[in-house]
Amino acid sequence: MHLRAIIMSAFFLAGAAPSALAEEIPAATTATNSTAPEADGRTWKLTAGGFLQADAVVVDQSSQDQLSPAAGEPLNTQRFLVRRAHVFVEAHQNALASVIEMDANTVKGMSAGLARAELALGRVRPAWDAEISLGLLRIPFGLEVQEWDPDRFFLERSNVSRALFPGTFDLGARGKVSWRFVRAQFAVMNGSPLADASFPARDPNAAKDFVGRLGVDATVVERVRISAGFSSLKGTGFHPGTPATKDVLVWRDQNEDGIVQLSEIQVIAGRAATPSQNFSRFAVGADSRIGATLPRLGRLMVFGEVVWGANLDRALLPADPVASGRDLREFGWVVGASQEFTTRAALGIRYDFYNPDVDGFRQTPTAIAPKDMSFRTWTVTVSWGGLGRDRLLLEYQHNRNALAVAADGSPTSLAADTLTLRGQVVFQ
Amino acid sequence: MRCRPVWLFLPLFLAACGGVASDTGLEALVRVTGGQFYRGAIDKLSSASTPTVVEVRNSMTVIAPGLLNKQVSGRLDPGSTAMAIGFAGDIGYWILPADVADSDSPTQPTFHAVLSFALALPAKSYDLIVRAVSVPGVFGPAAHVALDVQQTLPPTGTLVVSLWWDTGSDLDLHVVEPNGTEIWAGNLNSYDAYAVTPTTDAGAWNEGGILDFDSNAACVLDGRCNENVVWSATPPAGTYLARVDTFSLCGNTAARWTVEAFLNGASLGRAEGESVASNQRFSKGKGSGLAALSFTVPPP
């Protein structure tokens, strides 16, 4: 317990890249589309931009032309959709900066809302710079969470990243410091990211999540750049209580004759309300990315990330240790690489592994056996369109999971491979 | 399993053909709660001599189309890890992991299947097959349960006016007798004890036309989507009017309905139509609804 606290404290010394706004929005943004005179200390300088990602899901093996029997939602996933349509406005005045970003998409029908709202106070010096921010901020954890969506070579983040951090933004306050090659970030946040399965962008308890990253980012030799870091999160989850229920009279047709008989009428007694409870959760992670420019070929990017967590899954199989009666430990990792070929084409491959319940088990007729709950995905992506962010992407995902039942009753993989085409445009 | 063509990524696609196809099995005649659906006839699977189904417990052998939550349970040979269940000749079958043994037979795994049946289940006898399965997917011999499907028949009566529709909406049948009496959910019986000569006949109420059920009332869905007005005695001669009132579509975009009148089993007329959102606007109660079918009952 003490060791964990010491490790956590060390990680909380801070995070990754400098200046949130400068990192979040492409550097070019700050020099274009200005709608006000250059900042002179009292006037605001406004810049605007955005990006669009439109998808065509060509094949999805899990797609069906049916409605979900439980929720009534369409099960067909082979469709056209707008994955992200973002517009943002950024404002600067001396050390003060602000950005407001809106997102619209059709992932679950037409929806639009706030994607980012950040107020930042920064100071830049030759040897170091620092910044504090308040609002709806990017969560300073690991590599994938902090990547801007159009910059990511693959269409979406890995399973472990999406499960532990559903939506990469959360409400809170964040500090950033960079000194030479050292990058540090620390944030206090609500703990309910934008795509949280339970209370998105809200906070059901007063306790806050503490999250940070300590890392390095440096050019070690000519054309080779390395960034690496350790991240940690310590927070408090929420188990919802239940309201009081009334007595209910239920008819169970036990002899299946369709006739109500006295012995088939049962009283389900009402129950008193149960209180909500908080529970502890945490995660630690390590990440690294190496970028190198190869002669004749182009840029090569290799990256990897590993995360251990407990009770932190908030999307894929939401963790609730109060309901399950035990802690749910998560483990996941991802490795990948992308290589540019000529100035127009690039190829990337990624493998990610995520186990939402390392201690999972199942009851067999004769014993309690371990259950491998892991999700494993191979991703192959081809990009066409040059080295900028405007490009066409074709991605095949080969998914393995434990969501189906084999003929002998054991868990097996549910076919869920996908082939997706994406068009992406960034305007600024 | 089904493999969809991904010719652009053929090598990876070939590697991908290992998973179980995602399938709700809603097209099957019988469905199993919590079961994994596999396409293929259960009676055509290759069979080994073991494991066997030791016992199948089933209380009723007569079922109705659309029946929910029918329980079938039993015991399997030791070594069984799952059971397969389905109708012989159906498009697929269901796999359920075996449960732990009970204290009566501590070496024999048990199974508990909760079945539901398709609404369009044709009336005939079916062979429900249960097979024990062991690792690695070895199917044992079939155990048979005969189930007879009893078709839901329209109510019997001298004159029957039926309304049925296709979505979970609250539609109401109104029938106006030749004398102007209207039968609907607010007036279930056209017999008027005060309009006739006082009688001591306790069964006189049965002389009127009676609405049998207010289906999906107030959008509490019952799945029947069918209402009938029935005259068990001789109906008054003259011209009748049947109306269809769209009380609520209950969130559906439309409901296609059919009205048909039968006199001694012979059709007097049939009408079809569709209720849409605008049909919900009209006032509700006596006199409401769109005129759907007019028919004449001759004197006896």
Helix, strand, or coil here: A308?
strand
- The reported pLDDT for the residue numbered B5 is 47
Mean pLDDT of A238-266: 84
- The reported pLDDT for the residue numbered A290 is 96
Which residues, numbered 123 to 162 in chain B, qualify as contacts with chain A under a Cβ-Cβ cut-off of 8 Å? 133-139
Q: What are phi and psi of B99, to 5 degrees?
A: -95, 175
B68 touches chain A (CB under 8 A): no
Which residues in chain A are closer than 8 Å to B98, comparing Cβ atoms?
Answer: 364-365, 409
Say yes or no for a CB contact (<8 Å) between B21 and A380.
no
- The reported pLDDT for the residue numbered B50 is 84
- Give the residue on A whose Cα is nearest the Cα of B19: A415
Q: What are phi and psi of B50, to 5 degrees?
A: -135, 160
**How close A383 comes to chain B (CA, Å)?**
14
Q: What is the DSSP string of B33-69?
A: TTPEEEES-GGGS---S-S-EEEEEES-SEE-TT---
- The reported pLDDT for the residue numbered B49 is 84
Contact A373, A395 (CB under 8 A): no
Say if residue A250's pLDDT is above 90: no
- The reported pLDDT for the residue numbered B105 is 86
Phi-psi region of A165 (alpha: psi -120 to 50; beta: other; left: phi over 0): beta
A369 touches chain B (CB under 8 A): no
DSSP H helices in chain B: 10-16
Contact B88, B127 (CB under 8 A): yes
- Give the residue on A whose Cα is nearest the Cα of B137: A408
CA distance A390 to A394: 14
Say if residue A391's pLDDT is above 60: yes
Lowest-pLDDT range, A194-203, B57-66, B100-109, B225-234?
B57-66
A33 touches chain B (CB under 8 A): no
More confident residue, A222 or A144: A144
pLDDT digits (tens, 9 = 90+) for B107-155: 999 999 999 888 788 888 999 999 999 988 899 999 999 999 876 666 7
**How close B74 comes to chain A (CA, Å)?**
13
**How close A372 comes to chain B (CA, Å)?**
15
Highest-scoring range by mean pLDDT, A16-20, A327-331, B12-16: A327-331
Contact A422, A397 (CB under 8 A): no
Phi-psi region of A283 (alpha: psi -120 to 50; beta: other; left: phi over 0): beta
- Give the residue on B whose Cα is nearest the Cα of A78: B4
Highest-scoring range by mean pLDDT, A80-89, A123-132, B152-161: A80-89
CA distance B112 to B123: 26
Say yes or no for a CB contact (<8 Å) between A408 and B133.
yes
Say if residue A36's pLDDT is above 50: no
Helix, strand, or coil here: A10?
helix
* H or E, element range at B241: strand B238-248
Which residues in chain B are closer than 8 Å to A75, comparing Cβ atoms?
Answer: 24
How far apart, in Å, do the first and last CA atoms of chain B sit?
A: 63
- Give the residue on A whose Cα is nearest the Cα of B33: A69
* Sign for the pseudo-dihedral over CA of A362, A366, A367, A372: negative
Say yes or no for a CB contact (<8 Å) between A254 and B59.
yes
Q: What are phi and psi of A163, to 5 degrees?
A: -75, -45
**How close B80 comes to chain A (CA, Å)?**
8
Among residues A264, A257, A209, the alpha carbon closest in space to that of A237 is found at A209
Which residues in chain A are closer than 8 Å to B138, comparing Cβ atoms?
Answer: 408
Mean pLDDT of B215-223: 83
- The reported pLDDT for the residue numbered B70 is 87
pLDDT digits (tens, 9 = 90+) for A146-157: 999 999 999 999
B109 touches chain A (CB under 8 A): yes
DSSP state at residue A23: H
Helix then strand count (H, E) for chain A reads: 4, 22
- The reported pLDDT for the residue numbered A161 is 96
Which residues in chain A are closer than 8 Å to B96, comparing Cβ atoms?
Answer: 405, 409
**How close A156 comes to chain B (CA, Å)?**
19
B175 touches chain A (CB under 8 A): no
How far apart, in Å, do the first and last CA atoms of chain A sit?
A: 48
Residue given tokens 């892991």 in the structure block: A374
Contact B42, B132 (CB under 8 A): no
Q: What is the DSSP string of A105-170?
A: E-BTBSEEEEEEEEEEEEEE-SSEEEEEEEEEEE---SSSTTS-GGG-SSSS--HHHHHHSSSSEE
Strands in A295-359 per DSSP E? 298-310, 329-341, 345-355
Say yes or no for a CB contact (<8 Å) between B19 and A257.
no
Considering only CA atoms, give the Rg of chain B.
26
A7 touches chain B (CB under 8 A): no
DSSP state at residue A273: -
A65 touches chain B (CB under 8 A): no
Say if residue A114's pLDDT is above 90: yes
What's the pLDDT band for A20 if we cut at 50, 70, 90?
very low
**How close A375 comes to chain B (CA, Å)?**
13
Lowest-pLDDT range, A4-18, A75-89, A231-245, B188-202?
A4-18
CA A164 → CA A145, A239, A331, B4, B291, distances in Å? 10, 17, 10, 31, 59
Say yes or no for a CB contact (<8 Å) between B12 and A416.
no
Chosen for mutation from B37, B47, B76, B81 (greatest number of chain A CBs closer than 10 Å) is B81
Q: What are phi and psi of B110, to 5 degrees?
A: -110, 170
What's the pLDDT band for A32 if we cut at 50, 70, 90?
very low
**Residue A107, both tokens:** 């992932």
What is the pLDDT of chain B when averaged over all its residues? 86
Nearest-CB residue to B59 (from A69, A255, A408) = A255
A35 touches chain B (CB under 8 A): no
Lowest-pLDDT range, A49-58, B117-126, B185-194?
B185-194
Say yes or no for a CB contact (<8 Å) between A413 and B100.
no
Bridge pairing between strands B138-149 and B62-63: parallel
CA A160 → CA A288, A321, A328, A353, A369, distances in Å? 16, 19, 14, 7, 24
Say if residue A417's pLDDT is above 80: yes
A417 touches chain B (CB under 8 A): yes
Contact A98, A136 (CB under 8 A): no
Contact A11, A284 (CB under 8 A): yes
CA distance B170 to B213: 12
CB atoms within 10 A of CB B254: 16
Mean pLDDT of B74-93: 93
Helix, strand, or coil here: B14?
helix
Which residues in chain A are closer than 8 Å to B136, comparing Cβ atoms?
Answer: 408
Chains A, B: CB pairs < 8 Å: 128
Helix, strand, or coil here: A322?
helix
Contact B121, B169 (CB under 8 A): no
CA distance B14 to A201: 42
A343 touches chain B (CB under 8 A): no
Say yes or no for a CB contact (<8 Å) between B24 and A366.
no
B22 touches chain A (CB under 8 A): yes
Say yes or no for a CB contact (<8 Å) between B81 and A412.
no
Helix, strand, or coil here: A64?
coil
Mean pLDDT of A358-378: 90
Which residues in chain A are closer than 8 Å to B4, comparing Cβ atoms?
Answer: 59, 61
Say yes or no for a CB contact (<8 Å) between B6 and A254.
no
Which residues, numbered 198 to 227 in chain B, qualify as contacts with chain A under a Cβ-Cβ cut-off of 8 Å? none
Say if residue B200's pLDDT is above 70: no
CA distance A362 to B106: 19
Say if residue A387's pLDDT is above 60: no
Which residues in chain B are closer than 8 Å to A68, comparing Cβ atoms?
Answer: 24
Which residues in chain B are closer than 8 Å to A382, comparing Cβ atoms?
Answer: none
Which residues in chain B are closer than 8 Å to A380, comparing Cβ atoms?
Answer: 9, 12
Nearest-CB residue to B6 (from A59, A255, A258) = A59
Number of alpha carbons in the 13 Å side-chain half-sphere of residue A43: 9
CA distance A334 to A307: 9
Distance from the Cα of residue B106 to its chain's centroid: 38
Among residues A133, A142, A180, the alpha carbon closest in space to that of A160 is found at A142
* H or E, element range at A247: none
A61 touches chain B (CB under 8 A): yes
Mean pLDDT of A106-120: 93
Say yes or no for a CB contact (<8 Å) between A414 and B1.
no
Chosen for mutation from A63, A419, A420 (greatest number of chain B CBs closer than 10 Å) is A419
**How close A364 comes to chain B (CA, Å)?**
7
Q: How many residues does chain B have?
A: 300
CA distance B252 to A186: 50
Cα-based angle A379, A358, B24 (whole degrees, multiple of 5): 60
Say yes or no for a CB contact (<8 Å) between A75 and B24.
yes
pLDDT digits (tens, 9 = 90+) for A161-208: 999 999 899 999 999 999 989 999 999 999 999 988 889 989 999 999
Say if residue B300's pLDDT is above 50: yes
Contact A39, A26 (CB under 8 A): no
